[in-house]
A and B are shown apart, each in its own frame.
Chain A
Amino acid sequence: NAGVTQTPKFQVLKTGQSMTLQCAQDMNHEYMSWYRQDPGMGLRLIHYSVGAGITDQGEVPNGYNVSRSTTEDFPLRLLSAAPSQTSVYFCASGILPGEAFFGQGTRLTVV
Protein backbone atom coordinates (compact mmCIF):
# COMPACT_ATOMS: atom_id res chain seq x y z
CA ASN A 1 0.00 0.00 0.00
CA ALA A 2 1.59 3.24 -1.15
CA GLY A 3 -0.88 5.56 0.64
CA VAL A 4 0.17 9.20 0.16
CA THR A 5 3.41 9.74 -1.74
CA GLN A 6 5.25 13.04 -1.75
CA THR A 7 8.17 13.99 -3.96
CA PRO A 8 10.81 15.23 -3.57
CA LYS A 9 11.77 14.55 0.06
CA PHE A 10 14.29 17.38 0.14
CA GLN A 11 14.71 20.49 -1.99
CA VAL A 12 16.85 23.60 -1.91
CA LEU A 13 15.69 26.60 -3.95
CA LYS A 14 17.09 30.01 -4.59
CA THR A 15 14.89 33.02 -3.92
CA GLY A 16 12.68 33.66 -6.92
CA GLN A 17 12.82 30.16 -8.34
CA SER A 18 9.68 28.16 -8.95
CA MET A 19 8.95 24.54 -8.27
CA THR A 20 6.17 22.03 -7.82
CA LEU A 21 5.80 19.69 -4.88
CA GLN A 22 4.11 16.49 -5.98
CA CYS A 23 1.51 14.55 -4.03
CA ALA A 24 -0.25 11.37 -5.10
CA GLN A 25 -2.62 9.06 -3.26
CA ASP A 26 -3.93 5.64 -4.24
CA MET A 27 -6.85 5.39 -1.79
CA ASN A 28 -9.43 7.06 -4.02
CA HIS A 29 -9.97 9.80 -1.44
CA GLU A 30 -11.91 12.82 -2.60
CA TYR A 31 -10.36 15.12 -0.05
CA MET A 32 -6.72 16.25 -0.30
CA SER A 33 -4.85 19.04 1.42
CA TRP A 34 -1.47 20.68 1.88
CA TYR A 35 0.02 21.81 5.18
CA ARG A 36 3.22 23.47 6.19
CA GLN A 37 4.91 22.72 9.49
CA ASP A 38 7.02 25.32 11.22
CA PRO A 39 8.60 25.08 14.70
CA GLY A 40 6.21 26.07 17.45
CA MET A 41 3.32 26.61 15.07
CA GLY A 42 2.00 23.13 14.43
CA LEU A 43 0.67 22.42 10.97
CA ARG A 44 -1.14 25.10 9.05
CA LEU A 45 -3.47 24.47 6.14
CA ILE A 46 -2.35 25.98 2.83
CA HIS A 47 -4.88 24.74 0.27
CA TYR A 48 -7.34 21.91 0.05
CA SER A 49 -9.50 20.13 -2.50
CA VAL A 50 -12.80 18.30 -2.09
CA GLY A 51 -12.57 16.60 -5.46
CA ALA A 52 -11.19 16.83 -8.97
CA GLY A 53 -11.56 20.34 -10.33
CA ILE A 54 -12.37 21.88 -6.92
CA THR A 55 -9.82 23.69 -4.77
CA ASP A 56 -9.97 26.30 -2.04
CA GLN A 57 -7.69 28.29 0.24
CA GLY A 58 -6.75 27.41 3.78
CA GLU A 59 -5.11 29.53 6.50
CA VAL A 60 -1.88 30.45 4.69
CA PRO A 61 -2.44 30.35 0.90
CA ASN A 62 -0.32 33.31 -0.19
CA GLY A 63 2.57 32.36 -2.48
CA TYR A 64 1.14 28.95 -3.32
CA ASN A 65 -1.05 27.61 -6.12
CA VAL A 66 -2.76 24.27 -6.48
CA SER A 67 -4.79 22.38 -9.04
CA ARG A 68 -6.65 19.08 -8.97
CA SER A 69 -7.10 17.57 -12.40
CA THR A 70 -7.40 13.97 -11.14
CA THR A 71 -8.55 12.32 -7.92
CA GLU A 72 -5.06 10.91 -7.36
CA ASP A 73 -2.84 13.99 -7.72
CA PHE A 74 -2.69 17.32 -5.91
CA PRO A 75 0.47 19.28 -6.74
CA LEU A 76 1.52 22.41 -4.85
CA ARG A 77 3.26 25.14 -6.84
CA LEU A 78 5.57 27.84 -5.57
CA LEU A 79 5.73 30.45 -8.32
CA SER A 80 8.48 32.63 -6.83
CA ALA A 81 10.07 31.10 -3.77
CA ALA A 82 10.86 33.27 -0.75
CA PRO A 83 12.91 32.47 2.38
CA SER A 84 9.67 32.64 4.41
CA GLN A 85 8.54 29.52 2.55
CA THR A 86 11.34 27.47 4.11
CA SER A 87 9.37 24.77 5.89
CA VAL A 88 8.35 21.14 5.92
CA TYR A 89 5.37 20.49 3.68
CA PHE A 90 2.87 17.70 4.19
CA CYS A 91 0.22 16.44 1.87
CA ALA A 92 -2.76 14.56 3.24
CA SER A 93 -5.79 12.77 1.87
CA GLY A 94 -8.92 11.60 3.60
CA ILE A 95 -12.66 11.16 3.73
CA LEU A 96 -15.37 13.54 4.85
CA PRO A 97 -15.18 13.85 7.80
CA GLY A 98 -12.59 11.54 9.14
CA GLU A 99 -8.97 10.88 9.64
CA ALA A 100 -6.38 12.28 7.28
CA PHE A 101 -3.56 10.16 5.93
CA PHE A 102 -0.28 12.02 5.66
CA GLY A 103 2.68 11.71 3.36
CA GLN A 104 6.24 11.64 4.67
CA GLY A 105 6.81 15.32 3.98
CA THR A 106 9.02 17.51 1.80
CA ARG A 107 11.70 19.55 3.51
CA LEU A 108 12.14 22.78 1.53
CA THR A 109 14.87 25.33 2.07
CA VAL A 110 14.83 28.65 0.23
CA VAL A 111 18.14 30.53 0.25
Chain B
Amino acid sequence: AQSVTQLGSHVSVSEGALVLLRCNYSSSVPPYLFWYVQYPNQGLQLLLKYTSAATLVKGINGFEAEFKKSETSFHLTKPSAHMSDAAEYFCAVIRQGNQFYFGTGTSLTVIP
Protein backbone atom coordinates (compact mmCIF):
# COMPACT_ATOMS: atom_id res chain seq x y z
CA ALA B 1 0.00 0.00 0.00
CA GLN B 2 1.13 3.51 -0.68
CA SER B 3 2.46 5.47 2.27
CA VAL B 4 4.76 8.33 3.15
CA THR B 5 7.48 8.78 5.77
CA GLN B 6 8.57 12.15 7.04
CA LEU B 7 12.07 12.27 8.48
CA GLY B 8 12.41 14.60 11.44
CA SER B 9 9.43 15.53 13.57
CA HIS B 10 10.99 18.90 14.43
CA VAL B 11 13.14 21.14 12.25
CA SER B 12 14.60 24.49 13.30
CA VAL B 13 16.11 26.99 10.89
CA SER B 14 17.27 30.56 11.17
CA GLU B 15 15.31 33.27 9.43
CA GLY B 16 16.69 33.59 5.90
CA ALA B 17 18.15 30.08 5.86
CA LEU B 18 17.19 27.22 3.58
CA VAL B 19 14.19 25.14 4.59
CA LEU B 20 14.38 21.41 3.79
CA LEU B 21 11.63 19.06 4.96
CA ARG B 22 12.01 15.44 3.98
CA CYS B 23 9.40 13.03 2.68
CA ASN B 24 9.88 9.57 1.21
CA TYR B 25 7.09 7.59 -0.34
CA SER B 26 6.43 3.92 -0.78
CA SER B 27 4.55 3.09 -3.92
CA SER B 28 4.59 0.52 -6.67
CA VAL B 29 3.13 2.98 -9.15
CA PRO B 30 3.74 6.71 -9.67
CA PRO B 31 1.81 8.33 -6.88
CA TYR B 32 -0.04 11.56 -6.42
CA LEU B 33 1.92 13.40 -3.72
CA PHE B 34 1.03 16.48 -1.73
CA TRP B 35 2.42 18.84 0.86
CA TYR B 36 0.00 20.49 3.25
CA VAL B 37 0.67 23.14 5.88
CA GLN B 38 -1.17 23.60 9.15
CA TYR B 39 -0.90 26.81 11.10
CA PRO B 40 -1.76 26.73 14.80
CA ASN B 41 -5.41 25.98 15.51
CA GLN B 42 -6.30 25.87 11.85
CA GLY B 43 -7.15 23.31 9.22
CA LEU B 44 -4.77 22.08 6.55
CA GLN B 45 -3.95 24.16 3.50
CA LEU B 46 -2.49 22.81 0.28
CA LEU B 47 1.06 23.96 -0.45
CA LEU B 48 1.68 22.00 -3.62
CA LYS B 49 0.94 18.75 -5.40
CA TYR B 50 2.68 16.37 -7.76
CA THR B 51 0.54 14.65 -10.36
CA SER B 52 3.27 13.48 -12.82
CA ALA B 53 3.11 16.54 -15.07
CA ALA B 54 6.50 17.89 -13.92
CA THR B 55 9.07 16.65 -11.42
CA LEU B 56 9.73 20.10 -9.95
CA VAL B 57 6.59 21.49 -8.46
CA LYS B 58 6.19 25.07 -7.31
CA GLY B 59 3.68 25.93 -4.64
CA ILE B 60 2.47 28.85 -2.65
CA ASN B 61 4.57 31.07 -0.37
CA GLY B 62 7.80 30.30 -2.23
CA PHE B 63 7.85 26.58 -1.49
CA GLU B 64 8.75 23.93 -4.03
CA ALA B 65 9.27 20.18 -4.08
CA GLU B 66 11.08 17.83 -6.42
CA PHE B 67 9.82 14.35 -7.22
CA LYS B 68 12.77 11.95 -7.46
CA LYS B 69 11.71 8.49 -8.50
CA SER B 70 15.19 7.02 -8.06
CA GLU B 71 15.20 8.13 -4.41
CA THR B 72 11.43 7.72 -3.85
CA SER B 73 11.50 11.20 -2.37
CA PHE B 74 9.43 14.35 -2.49
CA HIS B 75 11.30 16.81 -0.28
CA LEU B 76 9.92 20.29 0.37
CA THR B 77 12.25 23.27 0.12
CA LYS B 78 12.24 27.04 0.41
CA PRO B 79 15.38 29.08 -0.25
CA SER B 80 14.87 31.60 2.54
CA ALA B 81 12.81 30.97 5.66
CA HIS B 82 10.45 33.61 6.97
CA MET B 83 9.01 33.84 10.45
CA SER B 84 5.56 33.27 9.00
CA ASP B 85 6.66 29.81 7.77
CA ALA B 86 6.56 28.43 11.30
CA ALA B 87 3.91 25.71 11.15
CA GLU B 88 3.33 21.96 10.90
CA TYR B 89 3.96 20.43 7.49
CA PHE B 90 2.46 17.20 6.25
CA CYS B 91 3.41 15.08 3.30
CA ALA B 92 0.55 12.99 1.90
CA VAL B 93 -0.20 10.45 -0.80
CA ILE B 94 -3.44 9.45 -2.41
CA ARG B 95 -4.13 5.76 -2.39
CA GLN B 96 -7.56 5.25 -3.91
CA GLY B 97 -9.86 7.93 -5.16
CA ASN B 98 -9.45 10.86 -2.81
CA GLN B 99 -8.24 8.92 0.25
CA PHE B 100 -5.30 10.82 1.66
CA TYR B 101 -2.68 9.09 3.77
CA PHE B 102 -0.55 11.50 5.72
CA GLY B 103 2.90 11.38 7.18
CA THR B 104 3.34 12.10 10.87
CA GLY B 105 4.21 15.72 10.25
CA THR B 106 7.22 18.00 10.70
CA SER B 107 7.03 21.01 12.96
CA LEU B 108 9.07 23.89 11.56
CA THR B 109 10.48 26.51 13.91
CA VAL B 110 12.03 29.67 12.48
CA ILE B 111 14.58 31.36 14.72
CA PRO B 112 14.90 35.13 14.36
Interface residues of chain A, those whose CB is within 8 Å of chain B, are 4, 31, 33, 35, 40-45, 48, 50, 58-59, 90, 92, 94-100, 102-105
Contacts and interface: CB of A to CB of B under 8 A. Distances in A.
B99 A42 contact: no
A41 B49 CA distance: 21
Contact of B99 (A58, A90, A98): A58
Given A104-B42, A105-B43, A31 B105 contact: no
Interface residues of B, number: 23
Nearest to A107: B41
Contacts, number: 65
A45 B98 contact: no
B98 A33 contact: yes
Contacts of A50: 97-98
B94 to A, nearest CB: 5
B25 interface: no
Given A90-B44, A102-B44, A97 B94 contact: yes
B1 to A, nearest CB: 10
B99 A99 contact: no
B104 A94 contact: no
A105 B45 CA distance: 12
A42 B97 CA distance: 20
A57 B9 CA distance: 28
Nearest to A101: B46
Contacts of B9: 40
B34 interface: yes
